[in-house]
Each structure stands twice: as C-alpha cells, then as structure tokens.
Chain A
Amino acid sequence: MSRVRVLVGTRKGAFILEADGKRENWTVSGPHFAGWEIYHLKGSPADPNRIYASQSSGWSGQVVQRSNDGGTTWEVVGNKFIYDGTPGTHQWYDGTPHPWEFKRVWHFEPSLNDPDTVYAGVEDAAIFRSTDGGQNWAEMPGLRGHGTGPKWQPGAGGLCLHTILLDPAEAKRMYIAISAAGAFRTDDGGASWKPINKGLRSQYIPDPNAEVGHCVHRIAMHRSRPNTLFMQKHWDVMRTDNAGDEWTEVSGNLPTDFGFVIDVHAHEPETIYVVPIKSDAEHFPLEGKLRVYRSRAGGNEWEALTNGLPQSDCYVNVLRDSMSIDSLDSCGVYFGTTGGQVYASADAGDTWKAIVHDLPAVLSVEVQTLQ
C-alpha cells in the first residue's frame, strides 16, 4: 500500500511525519538537528530514501545533511559554497553596491533521475550544483553573470534563491526565482539564463514593469504541462503558458493577493492552491481566518477552503516553501505555519486536519509519496 512521508523544516530542527495512504494516523520523528534552523529538506525523485537537508544557524553557518535511509540516519556532507570567480556586488537595501556573501541554502532540488545530482538555491542569490551526493558544490555562474546581477536587491528575508523547477520534458530547461530579482530560465542546462518577468507589475519598484526587481515568492508547475507556471508574487497571483515569456494576472476574486505559497494539484493541472495573507505589513491571514483558496480554472475563480482550519483569531503565516502535494489518487495537500502546525487534507483541500500542532515555526514542507 502506498504511504506518505512529510519532511518538515522548522526554526529549531527537522521533523518527519509518516502515514499510510489513508493519511489518518501519523507517526512523528524528530527533532532531527535540534536547535538548528532547517530551511529545507527534500527527497530525490530517483531514490526517495535519499534526502538532503539544509541545516544552518547564525552561530555556525551552513551544514548540509544527507540521508540514505529515508531520514532514519544522517551524515554531514559538503558545505563549501564558494562563488565562482570574483563575486562582485549586488545592491544593498539602500541601493549601494554590496559584495556577494554566502549565507545559507534556502532550497534543495534533487535531480529527477540521479540521486547524486542536486541543485541548491542560496542566499546571496545563486544556484549551485553537486553531482556527488552533496560532497562538493560548484556554482552555475551563468545566472549571476548574465548581466542583471548587479541590480538585484534583497527582499525582507534576504537576497534568496528559493525556487528551482526542473522541466521533466526538456532536460536542459530549468526555472528559478529570486526575492527580489524575479524569475529566470535556462534552456541550455544552466550555461545561460534570461529574466522571464514580462507581464509582472510591481508598484513597489521605480519602474513597475522592470526587467528585474520583482519580489517573486514562489512558482509552481504541473509536470504534465511544464510550459505552464503559476506564481505567487509579493502581491498578485500570476500564470504563464509559454514558459515565462509572458505572465498574466489570475488573482481574480481572491480577498487579498498577497501570500507566499502556491502549488498545483497532482492530477488536475488547472487546479491550484494559495494561502492569502493580509499584506506585506501584516503577515497573517485576513480577518484572523486561515483559508486555503483553490481555483479549478487555473486562476481567476477561487473558492475558500475552510473545513477544519481555524476561522477566528488565527494570526500565523505560511512561508514560501511550506506547501506540498502528494500524488495519491485522492490528492493530498499539506502546509505548515509559523505557529507550528502542519495541516493536511487527504481530499484535495475539501477538509483539513492538523497532523501536528506545536512544532517550532515551520519553514518548509515537502511530501514524498512512497510505494
């Protein structure tokens, strides 16, 4: 029987939640790496027992952990993230040049077919690749070097590369997103990159239609339609149907279109999910009601999903890497909150239940569907 494994990164360690395909009874293991910030864990699609974890702290910097047995045991692998060549500068918050400095790994994206190949999105924004299971890392310098890098500026959370999407149909095509530079695409395996931000409009930058400078929070893709992407921008929910060449807004009837997470149903490529957050100044749900919004039309027409979610006095946030979808027949949707809850729905969002209530603030949620 199929089962699911939910990998949860928090401010004070990692937790692994497991259940069978019914997703009713859960076991919880952890904290792994207690006391450390775990920005992200992700399993390899080619070998689900291979998991990479980003472990960091303000005291001790970055550590990379790797498991070969589904998170039961872990080993430390390489943590040398050294920018290629002379790093140069990006813009600081005040607009002055600031040298590129590695701070942490925000996101790991394992290769679709090789468990030893994994990509790391880091702060200050860059993409690294390892082809030996995380022991050694090399920057893919074409991204920072493509021309607009000196104009990039950090968002409130830092200049982070937080999203990496691998195109299952075109092996050399990848998408990444940076807060607050925007989205970028490579069609040649990472040698060269181009900004794909046409159609984004951001009132908080001097030129709202600029080529770069947009605070993209998250991008999601359905593997059957890799040219269609959905984006939760700082404000606005967007979609593209031509691999990012042009974006259109699909916020529609959302009560607020600020937010962080966005994801796509496992079996319905036009069904998408967001969690609206009141505003950039007030990082909590509108009216204290935690609502997931689902669109079955690829955007514009949204319905609130509230059954099982708190509908009063709820002031948590849902961070950008904190939603994930399993691929069981009845699609499961998961998200974590800064209040330490991980909510799960085993019926595509119709009803929700907290798997855990009292973890440290959740930074990331990834689910693996296992046979």
Chain B
Amino acid sequence: MIRVVLPAHLRTLAKIQGEVLLEVAPPVTLRSVLDALEARYPTLSGTIRDHVTQQRRPFVRFFACEQDLSHDSPDSPLPEAVAAGSEPLLIVGAIAGG
C-alpha cells in the first residue's frame, strides 16, 4: 500500500483523518499515485494539480525520503521505500504568505 500524507486543509476538504493508504499498480509514479488519490477522493481533483495541464500547483510540493521530488517528472518512479509503503509520500503546502 502506498502511504500519502496530505496537508491539513486538503484532509478537511476530503474528510480524511490521518494518512491515506492507496493501492497503486507498479510502476509507482507521482502520476499514478495522484490518479489513484483523485479517483478515491474526487473532491481533491484540481487542488493538487491543474485540471488541464496536470501541472503541480505552484505552492504545492512533493517530498519523500528526505528528498524534494517536486521538480521530477510525474512519470519517474517514486523511491522504493514509497513504493514498498515503508515511507509516505508527503504532499506539502509550501510556506508562503509571511
């Protein structure tokens, strides 16, 4: 199972408590995880990536295994520890606004 941690305001929007566990067929990529996340929680569609361009929203970041994956291709494999479920994928709202 893939573990995903969402920022608080998106957990509230999707009515989620704690981590999300997702079944994702390999290869596990950012795109496949986000596709699975949005399929499970349609209210999150458009809040993490743009509906049309599928680009990450500018103030959203993707972290895992102490790495910033935000600028990686959405089709690159995620770290093995994420694919194995031992580490979560962190979807983070960037600090902004002072």
Measured CB to CB, the residues of A under 8 A from B are 34-36, 57-63, 76, 79-80, 82
Partner of A63, one of B7, B13, B57: B13
Residues of B contacting A57 in the complex (Cβ-Cβ under 8 angstroms): 9
Distance A79 CA – B52 CA, assembled complex (angstroms):
12
A59 touches B93 (CB 8 A): yes
B41 CB → nearest A CB, Å: 10
Q: Indicate with 1 or 0, residue by residue over B67-97, a CB within 8 angstroms of chain A CB atoms.
A: 0000000000000000000000000011011
The residue on A at minimum CB distance from B9 is A35
Residues of A contacting B52 in the complex (Cβ-Cβ under 8 angstroms): 82
A149 CB → nearest B CB, Å: 19
Chain B residues 46-82 with CB under 8 Å of chain A are: 46-48, 50-52, 57, 59-60
Distance A35 CA – B94 CA, assembled complex (angstroms):
15
The residue on A at minimum CB distance from B7 is A59
Residues of B contacting A59 in the complex (Cβ-Cβ under 8 angstroms): 7, 9, 57, 59-60, 93-94, 96
Distance A61 CA – B57 CA, assembled complex (angstroms):
8
Extra inter-chain contacts (16) besides given A59-B59, A76-B43, CB under 8 Å: A58-B97, A59-B7, A59-B9, A59-B93, A59-B96, A60-B9, A60-B10, A60-B47, A61-B50, A61-B57, A62-B46, A63-B47, A76-B13, A79-B45, A79-B46, A82-B51
Interface size of B as a range: 20 to 34
Distance A60 CA – B43 CA, assembled complex (angstroms):
11
Most buried by A among B48, B51, B96: B51
Residues of B contacting A60 in the complex (Cβ-Cβ under 8 angstroms): 9-10, 13, 47-48, 57, 60, 93
B51 touches A63 (CB 8 A): no
The residue on A at minimum CB distance from B51 is A80
Q: Indicate with 1 or 0, residue by residue over B5-19, a CB within 8 angstroms of chain A CB atoms.
A: 001011011000000
Distance A232 CA – B50 CA, assembled complex (angstroms):
35
The residue on A at minimum CB distance from B59 is A59
Distance A277 CA – B57 CA, assembled complex (angstroms):
35
Distance A36 CA – B96 CA, assembled complex (angstroms):
14
Distance A188 CA – B79 CA, assembled complex (angstroms):
56
Given contacts A80-B51, A82-B52, contact A61 B46 (CB under 8 A): yes
Residues of A contacting B43 in the complex (Cβ-Cβ under 8 angstroms): 63, 76
A255 CB → nearest B CB, Å: 35
Distance A76 CA – B51 CA, assembled complex (angstroms):
16
B46 touches A58 (CB 8 A): no
Most buried by B among A34, A57, A61, A82: A61
A309 CB → nearest B CB, Å: 31
Most buried by B among A58, A59, A80: A59
Residues of A contacting B12 in the complex (Cβ-Cβ under 8 angstroms): 34
The residue on A at minimum CB distance from B50 is A61
Residues of B contacting A80 in the complex (Cβ-Cβ under 8 angstroms): 45-46, 51
Can you list 29 A-B pairs, Cβ within 8 angstroms, ordered by A? A34-B12, A36-B9, A57-B9, A58-B59, A58-B97, A59-B7, A59-B57, A59-B59, A59-B94, A59-B96, A60-B9, A60-B10, A60-B13, A60-B47, A60-B48, A60-B57, A60-B93, A61-B46, A61-B47, A61-B50, A61-B57, A63-B43, A63-B46, A63-B47, A76-B13, A76-B43, A79-B47, A80-B46, A82-B51
A13 CB → nearest B CB, Å: 11
B59 CB → nearest A CB, Å: 4
A361 CB → nearest B CB, Å: 14
A311 CB → nearest B CB, Å: 32
B52 CB → nearest A CB, Å: 6
Residues of A contacting B46 in the complex (Cβ-Cβ under 8 angstroms): 61-63, 79-80
